[in-house]
Amino acid sequence: MYSDLLELLSALDGVQQSPRFHPEGDALFHSLQVYELARHATPDRALWAAALLHDVGKAVDSADHAQIGAELLEGMVSPRIVWLVRHHLDLLEAPARTKRRLRGTAALHDLQRVRAWDVGGRKPHASVPQVEEALETLFAKGFETLTAEHCEPAPTTDHEESHF
């Protein structure tokens, strides 16, 4: 799995983003910044992984990158991480509806955190680790517990059933 994730992330190297919204440059540099913000903010490694992987779909198609990224990660990482990647733009595109739908859930709290890190990861001169170092940190901390077979389910959109 390490090599699959490395390949997905490495494909972001050189993928340019709109300078208006992403003055930091390419999607890999941005993703590593978002990962660093998550790593310093929480001990929750699933959030570290979601932060690192949130834009992997941009190597295929920038416009629909959240859905594509989730599809690329499906079966590789936990349903919770896949869900966060798939929905990481919901608070940008439909904030009121998203907040209403997920009110009072851990899923909303996590989406808000990922969104804040996503916005914060846009510094042109930030210090970030190499992609291999970021993955090694995840794996060294027991990344196998974040794989599809070993962890919590994705949240539901039904307020009463959200367990994440």
Q: Is the pLDDT of residue 161 over 60?
A: no
Residue 17 lies in a domain: no
Residue 117 lies in a domain: yes
Whole-prediction pTM: 0.88
Domain containing 61 equals: 2-12+24-154
Q: Is the pLDDT of residue 51 over 90?
A: yes
Can you tell me the mean pLDDT for 59-77?
Answer: 94
Can you tell me the mean pLDDT for 82-107?
Answer: 97
CATH of the domain at 83: 1.10.3210.10
Total number of domains constituting the chain: 1
Residue 19 lies in a domain: no
Q: Is the pLDDT of residue 148 over 80?
A: no
Residue 164 lies in a domain: no
Residue 160 lies in a domain: no
Residue 162 lies in a domain: no
SS (H, E, C) the chain: CHHHHHHHHHCCCCCCCCCCCCCCCCHHHHHHHHHHHHHHHCCCHHHHHHHHHCCHHHHCCCCCHHHHHHHHHCCCECHHHHHHHHHCCHHHHCHHHHHHHHCCCHHHHHHHHHHHHHHHCCCCCCCCCCHHHHHHHHHHCCHHHHECCCCCCCCCCCHHHCCC
